[in-house]
Chains A and B, each alone.
Chain A
Amino acid sequence: MRVVIAEDHALLRDGLTRLLRAFDLDVVAAVDNGPALLPALLEHRPDVAVLDVRLPPTFTDEGLQAAIAARTRVPGLPVLMLSQHVEPLYARELLGTPHGGIGYLLKDRVSDVGEFVDAVQRVAGGGTAMDPEVISQLLARREPLAVLTAREREVLGEMAQGRSNAAIATKLRITEKAVSKHINNMLTKLDLPPSDDDNRRVLAVLAYLNA
C-alpha cells in the first residue's frame, strides 16, 4: 500500500514514516510544506495520504486545502488528516468533497500505534476514521439527540467514528444483531434513510448534526 505523508515537523515526519514502514506500508513521498503537497499527491496517486492540516509557508490550513483540491481533482482519493486540534468545521468541509475514504484524527491518536494503523487502512479501503473528539463535540451540541436512548447515542458515537457494526458490537459488548437494531431505530428516529455504506452513514449523521 502506497502512502504520501505531509508533515512539517521533522521528528514527527520521521516517526510517521518509521511507524508506517514498520507495518509494511510503502511511504512513497514525505513532503514538509504546502506548495509541494498537491503536485506530490497528483504525481504519486497514493492509496492513502496522511496529511497535517497546518503546513508552511503560511501555517494556516494549507494541508486541508490541498487535500480538498486533490480530492476534487482525483475523486475518491483517500485522505487521512492529522491535526494538533480537531475542528468540526474542517470535518464538515472534508466530508463535503467527493466520496472516498476520509479520516480526520488528532495527532495524539498516533500514540496508539495499532489503532492508528487500523485507521489508515480503513481510510485506504474507502472507510471513515473520525476522531472521537469531533464526534463528541457534535453530539454534545444538539437537542434533537435527546430523543435517543443512552445506548443508541453510544452506538451513534461509535458509528460516527467510522466503525463497522461488528466492531461496535465488540466494543460495546453486545451482539451484532443488537447493534443493527439500534442503528435502525436511531435512523428512524432521526429521520434518516437506512443504508449499508459506512461512509454514507457518517455523512448522514454529520449532515444531520450540522443542520
Chain B
Amino acid sequence: MKRRGGGARLGRWTWRGVRAVLAGLAAIGLAVTNVLLLVVAVVTLALTPVPYLGLALFPWTMTVIRMRADLERRLASRAGVLVTRPYRPPSARAVAGGWEHFRWTVTDPATWRDVAWLLPGAVIGLALGAIGVLVPLYGIAGLTLTPLWIWLGTGWYGYGAVWSVDSFVAGLVCVPQGAVILAAGLWLAPWLRWVDALFARVLLAPTKAAELRLRVTQLTVTRAGTVDAQAAELRRIERDLHDGAQARLASLSMLIGLADRLIDRDPAEAHKLLAEARASSGAALVELRDLVRGIYPPVLAERGLDGAVRALALSLPIPVTVDIALPARPDLPLESAAYFAVAEALTNVIRHSRARHGSVLARYEDGVLRMVVTDDGTGGADPSGGTGLQGIERRLAAFDGKIELSSPRGGPTVLTMELPCAL
C-alpha cells in the first residue's frame, strides 16, 4: 500500500517534470514569435502616420500581441502564478478599426507594457526554456549515449566527472551520473517555469492602478445587478401587499362595518358577516406570513443559518443531511444571502436532479464562508441552462461571492458557494 503510494507520487513527480520540460520547449518556440511580433509592432508604429493604413493596422497588431500576452498569462497560471488581464474594457462607441478603437488601445498603459515585455520576455523565455530542456537532455545522454558509443567503439568521449570515457567501466560510471542529472533536470524544470511566470507577471499583470480600475468596473456591474434585484423585490412585495393583505383588510373592515349596522335588525345576518370577516382576516394573515417568509424567514432570524437550513431540510421530500458549524453569526444581509443561496440550490436539487439524498455543509475558513450543496442525482447541471444557478451567482456577486459547479453527467453534483466575510 505504502510502496504503491510512493510509486504514484514518483509517477506524478516525473510527469510534472516532463510537462515542464515540454512547456520549456514551447517557450523557446514562443520566444521566436515574440521577436516576430516585436518587428511587426515596430513596423506598424512606423506606419501610423500613413493615413488610413496605420490607424487601422495598429489595433489589429495589438489584438495579436494581446493574444500572445494572454497565452503567456495562461501558461503562467498553469505554472502556479496567477496573472490577470490588465486591459481596460472597450468603450461602447469603439468600432473595430476605427478612431475610438485606436484610442482605446493606445491610451491603455497595458498596451505599452505588453510591447515592452516582448523582447525581455523572449530572452528570459529562451534562456530558461533552453536550460529546462538541455539539462534533462544531458542526463539522457549520460544514460544512453555513452554506453552505446563505447559499445560501438566510437572513440574518445567525456561525460560529467568522467573525462575521457575510454573503457567500458568508465562508460558505466556515466549511467548513475546521467540518472542524477536527469532527475535534477526534471526537478528543476517546474521551477524554471515558475521563474519564467514570475517574470511575465512583472509586465503582464495589471498595475495597482489598473487593478483598482478593474475592481471598480466589476463593482459597478455587481452593484447594478444588486440594485436591479432589490428594486424588483420591492415591486414584488408592494404588489403582493397591495393585491393581497391590503385588499383583504379593506374588505374585512367593510364586513365588520356592515355587521355593526345589522346587529340589532338582523342578528343572524350579522353573525354570518362576522364569520366571513374572520375568514377574511385569517386569509390575510396567511398571505402576510408567506410574504414575510419570502423576505426574511422567521426561523433564520431566530436560529441563524444552521437552524434555518435544518428547518428547510425538514420540509423537503428527500432526506438532506445538514452540517453547519460557524464560529459566529454572519451579518444579517450576508446570512440572508447565504440562506437563500442554499435554499435555491436545494430547490434545484429537488426539481432537476432526481436525487435520493442531499447534503449541505458549511464552514468558515481563512475569511471565506464556504457552503457545499451535494446530491446523488443524475448530474449534468448547466449554469447557462437555467435561471436558478444564475440567480445564486447574482445573489452572491453582491457580496463578492462566487460559485463553482461540478456536475458530470450521471452525477454526483457538487455546488460550492463561497462568500468572503469576517466572522
Stretch at the interface among B241-249, B306-314, B408-416: B306-314
Q: B314 — which chain A residues lie within 8 A by C-beta?
A: 88-89, 92, 137-138, 141, 210
Asked if B298 CB lies within 8 Å of chain A CBs, one says yes
Contact pattern, A 40-77, Cβ under 8 Å of B = 1, otherwise 0: 00000000000001100001110000000000000000
Q: Which residues of the partner chain B approach A112 to less than 8 Å between Cβ atoms?
A: 278
Residues of B close to A107: CB separation below 8 A: 285
Does A196 lie at the interface of the complex (its beta carbon under 8 Å from any beta carbon of B)? no
Q: Is A143 in the interface zone, CB < 8 Å from B? A: yes
Q: Which of A60, A84, A89 contacts B311 (CB 8 A)?
A: A89
> How long is the Cα–Cα vector from A106 to B285 in the complex, in angstroms?
10
Size of interface on A: residues with Cβ below 8 Å to B: 22
Assembled-state Cα–Cα distance A210/B303 (Å): 19
Contact residues of B between 256 and 298, Cβ < 8 Å to A: 278, 281-282, 285-286, 289, 292-293, 298
Q: Which residues 290-337 in B have Cβ within 8 Å of A in the complex?
A: 292-293, 298-299, 301-303, 307, 310-311, 314-317
- Please name all residues of chain A whose beta carbon is closer than 8 Å to the beta carbon of B317 when the two chains form the complex: 141-143
In chain A, what residue has the closest Cβ to B286?
Answer: A108
Q: Is the CB of A59 within 8 A of B301?
A: yes
User: Are B316 and A141 in contact, CB atoms less than 8 angstroms apart?
Assistant: yes
Q: Using Cβ atoms and an 8 Å threshold, which residues of chain A touch B311?
A: 87-89
A18 lies within 8 A of chain B by Cβ: no
- Mostly, the B contact residues are helix
Contact A54 B302 (CB under 8 A): yes
Q: How far is the CA of A85 from the CA of B292 in the complex (A)?
A: 10
With CB as the reference atom, state the residue of chain A lying closest to B277: A111
Set of chain A residues within 8 Å of B292, measured between Cβ atoms: 84-85
* Closest chain A CB from B289 CB (angstroms): 6
Nearest CB in chain A to that of B303: its residue = A61
With A85-B293, A89-B314 known to touch, is A111 a contact of B282 (CB < 8 Å)?
A: yes
With A and B bound together, what is the CA distance between A139 and B311 in angstroms?
15
Interchain CB contact under 8 A, A88 and B282: no
Q: Is the CB of B315 within 8 A of A88?
A: yes
- On chain A, the residues within 8 Å of B293 by CB distance are 85
Using Cβ atoms and an 8 Å threshold, which residues of chain B touch A59? 301
B285 A108 Cβ-Cβ under 8 A: yes
Complex CA gap A111/B280 in Å reads: 11
- A85's contact among B289, B307, B310, by CB below 8 Å, is which? B289
Q: Which of B223-262 contact A (CB under 8 A)?
A: none
Contact present for B303 and A60 (CB under 8 Å):
yes
With A87-B311, A137-B315, A141-B316 as given contacts, are A111 and B302 in contact (CB-CB < 8 Å)? Answer: no
User: Could you give, for residues 120-163 of chain A, a 1 whenever the CB lies within 8 Å of some chain B CB and a 0 otherwise?
Assistant: 00000000000000000110011100000000000000000000
CB distance from A62 to the nearest CB of B (A): 9
Cα–Cα, bound, A106→B298 (Å): 13
When distances are taken between beta carbons in the complex, the residues of chain B under 8 Å from A53 are 302
**Across-interface contacts of A85 in B (CB, < 8 A):** 289, 292-293, 298-299
User: Could you tell me which residues of chain A, from 173 to 206, have a CB within 8 Å of some CB in chain B?
Assistant: none
A87 lies within 8 A of B299 (CB) = yes
CA distance A59 to B298 in the complex (A): 10
A61 partner residues in chain B, CB cutoff 8 A: 302-303
Q: B304's closest neighbor in chain A, by CB?
A: A60
B289 adjacent to A84 (CB under 8 Å): yes
> Are A89 and B278 touching (Cβ within 8 A)?
no
Bound-state Cα–Cα, A89 to B308, Å: 9
Using CB atoms, name the residue of chain B closest to A142: B317
Can you name the residue of chain A whose Cβ is closest to the Cβ of B281? A111
In the bound complex, CA of A108 to CA of B316 (Å): 25
Check if B315 sits within 8 Å of A108, measured CB to CB: no
Which A residues from 85 to 105 make CB contacts under 8 A with B? 85, 87-89, 92
Which chain A residue shows the least CB distance to B312? Answer: A89
Interface positions, chain B 160-179, Cβ under 8 Å from A, are none
* Contact (Cβ within 8 A) A89 B316: no
Residues in A lying within 8 Å of B, measured CB to CB: 53-54, 59-61, 84-85, 87-89, 92, 106-108, 111-112, 137-138, 141-143, 210
6 tightest A-B CB contacts, nearest first: A60-B302, A89-B311, A61-B302, A108-B285, A85-B298, A88-B314
